[in-house]
């Protein structure tokens, strides 16, 4: 059975790049435009893993990660895929339960490797 990945990013072109890379690797991809949108898709799609940007309107990625880890999806791995590279942001992500941090620009193979490692 295919694993479902929830991709949360406010850039539609960026979501498309991520979606194509993950679909090519055999994953089912569900897209959300920000953390608020993603909250509504958790229950409906029960993703095996979440790939999320940090900077988004309405609900940012770190706040969304804290929301996920406080609820029934607390064991769902989260990968941050973001332009943010500061150690303080990474530490905040780790504290929020983020399992991997990939900085944009990125190689699609790097993302697929991280997803396959975390998506059992």
Q: What is the per-residue pLDDT across 54-98, written as a single tens digit (0 to 9) for each? A: 999 999 999 999 999 999 999 999 999 999 999 999 999 999 999
CB within 8 A of 5, min separation 6: which ones? 22, 27, 28, 29, 30, 47, 48, 49, 50, 51, 115, 119
**pLDDT, average across residues 20-49:** 97
98 neighbors 79 (Cβ within 8 angstroms): yes
3 neighbors 29 (Cβ within 8 angstroms): no
Backbone angles phi, psi at 32, to 5 degrees: -135, 145
Instruction: Kindly report the pTM of this predicted structure.
Output: 0.96
With tokens 């975390």, the residue in question is 118
Residue 119 pLDDT class (50, 70, 90 cuts): confident
75: which 2 tokens? 């064991």
Residue 120 pLDDT class (50, 70, 90 cuts): low
**Is the pLDDT confidence value at 1 over 80?**
no
Whether the upstream peptide bond of residue 20 has omega within 30° of 0, thus cis, is: no
């Amino acid at each position: 059975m295919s694993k479902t990945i929830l991709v949360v990013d406010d850039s539609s072109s960026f979501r498309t790049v991520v979606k194509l890379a993950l679909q090519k690797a055999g994953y089912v991809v569900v897209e959300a435009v920000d953390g608020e949108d993603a909250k509504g898709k958790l229950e409906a799609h029960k993703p095996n893993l979440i790939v999320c940007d940090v900077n988004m309107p309405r609900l940012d990625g770190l706040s969304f990660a804290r929301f996920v880890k406080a609820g029934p999806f607390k064991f769902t791995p989260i990968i941050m895929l973001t332009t943010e590279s500061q150690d303080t942001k990474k530490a905040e992500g780790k504290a929020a339960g983020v399992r991997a941090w990939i900085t944009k620009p990125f190689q699609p193979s790097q993302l697929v490797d991280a997803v396959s490692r975390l998506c059992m």
